[in-house]
Amino acid sequence: MSTTAKLPGHPFIAYEGSALHVEGVSLASLAQEHGTPLFVYSKAAMLNALAAYQRGFAGRDAQICYAMKANSSLGVLQVFADAGCGFDIVSGGELMRVVAAGGTPSKIIFSGVGKTRTEMTLGLKAGIGCFNVESEAELDVLSSVALGMGLIAPVSIRVNPNVDPKTHPYISVGLKGSKFGVAHENALRIYQHAALLKGLHVIGIDCHIGSQITTPEPYLDAMDRVLDLVSRIEAAGIPIAHIDFGGGLGINYNDDTPPDADALWQQLLAKIDACGFTGKKLMVEPGRSLVGNAGVCVSEVLYVKPGEQKNFCIIDAAMNDLPRPAMYQAFHAIVPLALTANPAAVYDVVGPVCESGDWIGRDRSLNTVTGDHVAVLSAGAYCMSMASNYNTRGRAAEVLVDGAETHLIRLRETIEDQMRGERCI
């Protein structure tokens, strides 16, 4: 009889006996078949994360829009499109990906501070559901682009709730002085401006206060601020049909304990109902919380390099594959694919890229030798979508696991792929 050992926070990733599995598939077998570095995603983990939001909104008029910048691979988008999700996009390229994956354009919302006229035109042509406008100047441009096409653009304005930074220092985008959204105190005036523009139809309000938020308080504070604005905007004669509350819910990277989406929304819905806004359509834009813990990056140990001050474990995944430690000093758990009883040593786990910033994990206890494989956990969000070709490293392959089935959803990038489009002088 084999035993199963689940990894905390990763319900679909577990050791069966000594071998790490994603759902019914052994990661060692995937590494052998497809090589490394290799991203592996659990479809059940994505749908399980989505289900928490769906439970939270049961019986409500609500639309969950997956913030696809977290992971924009077509196979991942397809999982969410098939589950009825809309998408939060931030570029014309992301719009084309949603269409290619079979998503519904009317369920797309378009966020971002720097939309170009070309991107606005693309969105209007496709018939997207809403433009989340981030500045007064953007309102004017969008209105003129829409009028030029004989269309009316549906809009919502992103407001900055300015949630107190002292109590919530990790909130980084919903504050005064952020490049995102419009200031809370200017919002009413800007809504009045929008309502006068002939090419716009004001339909909603939105905010997005930050990322990897692990306590309910910032959300509760932001909701109070947004609901207060909705009352004031409607009192000025501008109806608000939907409230879009953005994304940002955290995941468990390293003993983090974010609230479950359904529990959080129970608290938020109570506030909405108390203001008499029960009938309003609700939208959310979760990214990380839908995919982050659905993915791992499997990597081979190339060398173990003992040192006087540090031991290094050099793996074949690097900062170009897993940019979060270098960019944000972020933590990813690193576990072996095969459990053994050998004694462990403490390593800095690093990649082959020529940068001191190319580390994946510091001071990690591992028992490992050259040729072993490790899994870097919580690699479903903001890894492949941020991957680069630095050091002329091809981007990794990706596999989606569905029960005992596997789908290769991205081929490993070849050197020919990388050089396509370049010309010698």
* φ, ψ for residue 373, nearest 5 deg: -120, 150
Torsional class of 371: left (φ above 0), alpha (ψ -120 to 50), beta (otherwise): left
Which residue of 161, 246, 325, 394 would you call a contact of ligand PLP, by CB under 6 A? 246
Which residue of 248, 336, 351, 394 would you call a contact of ligand PLP, by CB under 6 A? 248
What is the closest distance, in whole angstroms, from the C-beta atom of residue 91 to ligand PLP in the complex? 11
- Binding of ligand PLP at residue 325 (CB under 6 A)? no
234: β partners: none
Site string for ligand PLP, 8-47 (x = CB under 6 A): ----------------------------------------
- Binding of ligand PLP at residue 247 (CB under 6 A)? yes
- Binding of ligand PLP at residue 261 (CB under 6 A)? no
Contacts of 223-228 spanning 24+ positions with Cβ under 8 A: 223/268, 223/271, 223/272, 224/271, 225/159, 225/161, 225/162, 225/163, 225/184, 226/159, 226/161, 227/271, 227/272, 227/275, 227/277
Amino acid type, 154: P
- Binding of ligand PLP at residue 268 (CB under 6 A)? no
> Nearest to residue 160, comparing CAs of 145, 171, 175, 148?
175
* φ, ψ for residue 63, nearest 5 deg: -130, 120
Q: Which stretch binds ligand PLP (CB under 6 A): 32-40, 123-131, 219-227, 246-254?
A: 246-254
Which residue of 69, 115, 225, 324 would you call a contact of ligand PLP, by CB under 6 A? 69
Name which of 214 and 418 has its Cβ closer to ligand PLP. 214
Name which of 205 and 315 has its Cβ closer to ligand PLP. 205
- Binding of ligand PLP at residue 88 (CB under 6 A)? yes
- Binding of ligand PLP at residue 286 (CB under 6 A)? yes
Which residue of 56, 287, 336, 351 would you call a contact of ligand PLP, by CB under 6 A? 287
Contacts with ligand PLP by CB under 6 A: the residue count is 16
- Binding of ligand PLP at residue 199 (CB under 6 A)? no
Name which of 90 and 360 has its Cβ closer to ligand PLP. 90
* φ, ψ for residue 153, nearest 5 deg: -90, 125
What is the closest distance, in whole angstroms, from the C-beta atom of residue 250 to ligand PLP in the complex? 8
Q: Which stretch binds ligand PLP (CB under 6 A): 10-18, 243-251, 303-311, 357-365?
A: 243-251
Which residue of 289, 293, 299, 378 would you call a contact of ligand PLP, by CB under 6 A? 289
- Binding of ligand PLP at residue 86 (CB under 6 A)? no
CB 265 within 8 A of CB 57: yes
What is the closest distance, in whole angstroms, from the C-beta atom of residue 47 to ligand PLP in the complex? 17
- Binding of ligand PLP at residue 211 (CB under 6 A)? yes
By CB under 6 A, the residues from 328 to 387 that bind ligand PLP are none
First vs last C-alpha separation in the chain: 64
Name which of 9 and 246 has its Cβ closer to ligand PLP. 246
Name which of 199 and 287 has its Cβ closer to ligand PLP. 287
Which residue of 184, 288, 373, 395 would you call a contact of ligand PLP, by CB under 6 A? 288
Helix (H), strand (E), coil (C) string for 114-135: CCCHHHHHHHHHHCCCEEEECC
- Binding of ligand PLP at residue 70 (CB under 6 A)? yes
**Please, what is the Cα angle at 346 between 9 and 42, to 5 degrees?**
25
The DSSP secondary structure of 333-359, one letter per residue, reads -EEESB---SPPEEEEEE-SSSSTT-E
- Binding of ligand PLP at residue 208 (CB under 6 A)? yes
- Residue closest to ligand PLP when measured from CB atoms: 287
Residue of 65, 207, 275, 354 with catalytic role? 354
Q: Is 85 a catalytic residue?
A: no
- Binding of ligand PLP at residue 67 (CB under 6 A)? yes
The DSSP secondary structure of 56-81, one letter per residue, reads HTTTS-EEEEEEGGG---HHHHHHHH
159 Cβ contact list (under 8 Å, min separation 6): 181, 182, 183, 184, 187, 205, 206, 207, 225, 226, 229
Count of other CB atoms within 10 angstroms of residue 170: 14
> Nearest to residue 213, comparing CAs of 248, 245, 246, 180?
248
Pairing of strands 38-42, 62-67: unpaired
Active site residues: 354
Give the binding site for ligand PLP (CB under 6 A): 67, 69-70, 88, 111, 208, 211, 246-249, 285-289
